[in-house]
Amino acid sequence: MTPAFAALSFATLAFFIAGGIFLPAVPRFTIGPLGGDQVAVGIVIGAFSVSSLLARPFAGRLADRRGRRITLVLGAVITVVAALGHLVAVNVPVLIVMRLLLGVGEALFFVAALAAATDLAPDDRRGEAISLISLSLYLGIAIGPVVGEAVHGALGFTAVWLVAAGIALASVVLSWITPETLSAGARAESRGWQSLIHRRGVEPGLLALCGVFGMGPFFAFLPLLTDDLGLGGSGPYLAAFAIVVVVLRLVGARLPDQIGAARLSGTALVVSGIGLVVLALAVSAVIPVGAGLLLGSVVFAGGVAFTFPAIMAMAVVGVPADERGSVVGTAGLFVDAAFGISPATLGFVAGVTGYPATFAICAVIAIVGAAWLLVRRPGQTVSLLA
């Protein structure tokens, strides 16, 4: 935990606390003051990921050519602007524009943060570095929704947007004081022509998509579900999810480097699938709703905890410093595709069949990814791209 890594971690924590504040507020704002429906919620939530998806390759190129620090700062500044823009979101189309801006800011910031973390880590500890830096993301998901719900309950939506903007502004300051991790020589080497899509990021990206597909409906629909069921808000379930991820990534930070990315991420995908099935059973009232949602959130978190670090560590094995941003950006495309496609498409499913089918579909997708890693390539514990 060097000073540079600590500075990067705190900047990332502030950024994702700001992002976490939006999680419970945006679905309620869409359905409440703006008069939207479940389909509108899916589109609004998915808009974030659409713009993030489109921006990822450019974010990777910018981080490789201009440096990690300037990319961090730019992403945080855009997030401040988008958060303040929620103050003038008087209808769903304007809100979608603000969500698109938030997606661009997130793409720039997170690609740069992951690339900087891999710059700072030795080759045999990259999985650990990604696990630790991504803790800031999940701490943000743990803290942000609780803050958002508390502020909304006490002061309303306007205060929610102002608090999010203020915390994002703190991230701008912290990013500004974070040291640059990419050397001037590496930046010079990256100025030649490169494809926006790096082939080394494609297969890990597809596997990451299988792992995070269920997170779209989990974050988009859980606030609405808990309101409909009279459970007193989604904050405890989102916090439980994030806390489990944080604890497991702390105690298991070195597992991607020790037991192999393919074996770890394949097992994690199976666990995610089981958690999603439990959520579907709880929403269907096959098992007690409150306890089932909590159990499903915890089990799902247990799978998510290890999927992303292992797959991202696998993606950057043997990749030069001046290409890591592009690889991370390419793999991140598929994560954003999952977050963009799943809420929008499953919003239609929820409207026709109800919420249980959305979690069941996501469970199937997670198991497909696990099958690729554990059945089609049994025993493989090193990079899939070797």
pLDDT in tens, 209-230: 888 788 877 877 787 778 777 7
Alpha-carbon distance of 90 to 70, in angstroms, equals 32
Domain presence at residue 24: yes
Would residue 189 count as lying in a domain? no
339 inside domain: yes
Range of the domain at 248: 3-179+196-374
- The distance from CA 202 to its chain's CA centroid, rounded to whole angstroms, is 18
Given a contact cutoff of 8 angstroms between Cβ atoms, the answer to whether 125 and 254 are in contact is: yes
Q: How far, in Å, CA of 293 to CA of 284, rounded? A: 11
Q: Whole-model pTM?
A: 0.68
In a domain, 220, yes or no: yes
Question: Within the chain, which residues score under 50 in pLDDT?
Answer: 188, 190, 192-193, 377-386
Give residue 183's pLDDT. Answer: 64
Residue that has been written with the tokens 């919003």 in this structure: 347
In a domain, 239, yes or no: yes
Contacting residues for 228 by C-beta, under 8 A, at least 6 apart: none
- pLDDT for 299 equals 92
Domain membership of residue 147 (yes or no) is yes
d(CA 386, CA 376): 16
- CATH at 351: 1.20.1250.20
pLDDT of residue 124: 67
Kindly state whether residue 114 falls inside one of the protein's structural domains: yes
The pLDDT, as a whole number, for residue 126 is 66
Number of domains in the chain: 1
Tell me whether residue 201 is in a domain: yes
Task: Return d(Cα 386, Cα 381) in angstroms, integer.
Answer: 11
Rounded distance, CA 282 to CA 296, Å?
8
